[in-house]
Amino acid sequence: MAGSKFAYVKSFEIPDLLLPKTFIVARLDGHGFHRFSDEHGFVKPNDERALRLMDHAATVVMQEFSDIMLGFGESDEFSFLFRKSCTLYNRRSTKIISTLTSLFTSAYVMNWSRYFEDMPLKYPPSFDGRIVLYPSSTEVMDYFSWRQTDTHINNLYNTTFWALVQQGEKTPTQAHETLRGTVSSQKNEILFNNFEINYNEIDSRFRKGSVLVREVVPPSLSAEGKSSEADIAGSVSAKTLKPSKKPKPVYKITVCHCDIIGKSFWEEHPYLLE
């Protein structure tokens, strides 16, 4: 393999190792989903099928990449937090992001028909991916607060905009004009006074986005589950390893639509930032 006279071209590949012991955050975003959502009849402002499909693809990714501790999704994007100690692919940046993005995309396509039963895919969707490194848990918490704040700002705007268009019979141009320069409280008032919509009663999936957590399964539960992978692994290690060997923690991926801006989420899940 290495011996041909052509092999020198390999030396043009430049290493792209990520700094060790730093938090890796990967963010994927649908390419041209404004058009994709139009062409596939997404319900506006929020198509629940599309959001559930995004959550499904993200769950597949988190099951495959065990170093991902947390996922956060909104609209056509998903962010993933890798543990600091991650050594996946020797921390080669493009290897990680390209594999992650392509797995997410293929899981999205593979599961499309489960969520969009009557809507065939008209063309192959694609996602872009980027990696950002953060030096400490402060920036990581602020990163996820930033994304969830974005969810809130966009959802409040979009909910008011589409109420004006769909129920208030404004044109899109008129609706944008009505909303220009308004603050949150004014949008809440428009929704409540004109359309009897109490923003805080809107589905938390739309207001908060999707939070995918790698939860630790308590040892008692994971040992009881007869058919779980953990149990199979446990029975092997019982025979082959010293009894004092600590069992590996067992995880499951849970989806919720909770607040991650306040401190309490992180206090309840301290291991996410270890």
Q: Which does 42 bind (CB under 5 to 8 A by kind): ligand ATP, Mg ion, none?
A: ligand ATP
Residue 18 vs 69, nearer CB to ligand ATP:
18
The answer to whether the annotation marks 76 as part of a ligand binding site is: yes
| Residue corresponding to tokens 């890796």 | 24
Is 129 known to sit in a ligand binding site?
A: no
**Whether the Cβ atoms of residue 195 and residue 168 lie closer than 8 Å to each other:** yes
- Of residues 22 through 61, those in contact with Mg ion by CB under 5 A are 29-30, 33
Output the smallest distance, CB 192 to Mg ion, in A. Answer: 28
Q: Which of 25, 28, 36, 76 binds Mg ion (CB under 5 A)?
A: 76
Compare residues 223 and 255 and give the one whose CB is closer to ligand ATP.
255
Q: State the residue number with the nearest CB to Mg ion.
A: 30
32 is in an annotated binding site: yes
Residues that bind ligand ATP (CB under 6 A): 29-34, 37, 42, 44, 46-47, 50-51, 75-76
Q: Say which entry of Mg ion, ligand ATP, none residue 188 contacts (CB below 5 to 8 A, set by partner kind).
A: none
Is 75 annotated as a binding-site member? yes
* Bind-site residues for GTP: 29-34, 75-76
Annotated binding site for Mg(2+): 29-30, 76
